[in-house]
């Protein structure tokens, strides 16, 4: 198991594929441990893709004396990239905290980010987003993981997709499964997400950035993604009007992959 001691914790990572270096990170979960099949199709055929367990989940431990923040998670990624000798990466940050982490990596170490993709992102946690994230955490803490999982899945997928796929989405081994039995990591994720505020630094991020706006996302839709596109000095925005918080279903995934690879290929 590849683990490196980075930024005061043991950090688990995997590299899949061959080609130029890329980083691919998402929300409160991991693409490691056999989950690389959830990457956008074509990534591992074209790139050496770095996947990680965030601190506190999977095989990565955590130092609970350190206040969680998106900048802390970004420093973890920066330290790991330096450890591996990876620079000038194609950085894909999706569905929440991964996008926010990418913003700080691109700000603090422009040499590490050739270009960046952000989806399900925000520049800061406004009252609506903060209350949504806190409600999810409270559901997990007071009613248990399965109740939280059901609530977050209902809000993250289109209703038709949720109804059709409910049995495979829910339960042990279902979506957000890495948080089952790990309330502590979830609460630290929420604290980091709610503390995120990149607004004072947006103009200082040089990386060409694709911001994807998911029109049906009730958590991090255009209300929170448009300010990122508008605030960056080198951004491109693309709207996927019929997509919710999570890209799901064959046609959506095909459309997403085309948008993603068209941008990455151009850089």
Helix (H) or strand (E) holding 173: none
Q: How far is it, in rounded angstroms, from Cα 121 to Cα 232?
A: 13
**Is it the case that residue 1 has pLDDT exceeding 70?**
no
Q: What are phi and psi of 21, to 5 degrees?
A: -70, 140
**Is it the case that residue 220 has pLDDT exceeding 80?**
yes
Distances (CA, A) of 182 to 32, 61, 78: 17, 12, 25
Query: In the prediction, which pLDDT does 34 show?
Result: 95
Mean pLDDT of 225-251: 97
Domain layout of the chain by residue ranges:
3-123+196-265
pLDDT digits (tens, 9 = 90+) for 249-258: 999 999 999 9
- How would you list the strands of the sheet with 21-25, edge to edge? 3-6, 9-16, 48-52, 21-25, 89-93, 113-119, 209-214, 235-240
Mean pLDDT of 43-56: 98
Q: What is the mean pLDDT of the chain?
A: 97
Sign of the dihedral defined by the CA atoms of residues 264, 58, 15, 4, in that order: positive
pLDDT digits (tens, 9 = 90+) for 134-174: 999 999 999 999 999 999 999 999 999 999 999 999 999 89
**Is it the case that residue 59 has pLDDT exceeding 70?**
yes
Pairing of strands 89-93, 113-119: parallel
Sign of the dihedral defined by the CA atoms of residues 220, 224, 229, 233, in that order: negative
**pTM of the complete model:** 0.97
Mean pLDDT of 4-18: 97
Mean pLDDT of 66-88: 98
Q: Which CATH architecture has domain 3-123+196-265?
A: 3-Layer(aba) Sandwich (3.40)
Distinct helix (H) and strand (E) counts, the chain: 9, 8
**Is it the case that residue 243 has pLDDT exceeding 80?**
yes
């Amino acid at each position: 198991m590849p683990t490196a001691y980075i930024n005061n914790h043991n950090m688990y990572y995997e590299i899949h594929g061959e080609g130029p270096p890329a980083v691919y990170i998402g929300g409160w979960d991991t693409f490691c441990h056999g989950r690389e099949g959830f990457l956008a199709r074509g990534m591992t055929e074209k790139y050496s893709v770095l996947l990680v367990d965030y601190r506190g989940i999977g095989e990565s431990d955590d130092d609970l004396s350190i206040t969680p923040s998106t900048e802390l998670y970004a420093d973890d990624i920066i330290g790991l990239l330096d450890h591996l000798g990876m620079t000038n990466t194609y950085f894909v940050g999706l569905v929440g905290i991964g996008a926010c982490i990418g913003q700080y990596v691109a700000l603090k170490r422009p040499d590490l980010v050739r270009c960046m993709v952000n989806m399900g992102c925000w520049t800061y946690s406004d009252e609506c987003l903060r209350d949504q994230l806190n409600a999810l955490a409270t559901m997990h803490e007071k009613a248990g993981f399965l109740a939280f999982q059901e609530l977050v899945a209902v809000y993250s997928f289109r209703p038709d997709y949720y109804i059709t796929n409910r049995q495979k989405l829910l339960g042990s081994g279902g979506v957000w499964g890495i948080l089952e039995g790990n309330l502590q990591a979830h609460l630290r994720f929420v604290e980091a997400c709610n503390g995120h505020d990149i607004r004072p630094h947006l103009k200082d991020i040089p990386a060409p950035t694709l911001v994807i706006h998911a029109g049906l996302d009730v958590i991090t839709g255009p209300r929170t993604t448009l300010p990122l596109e508008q605030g960056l000095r080198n951004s491109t925005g693309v709207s996927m009007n019929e997509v919710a918080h999570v890209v799901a279903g064959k046609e959506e995934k095909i459309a997403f992959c085309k948008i993603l690879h068209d941008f990455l290929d151009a850089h």
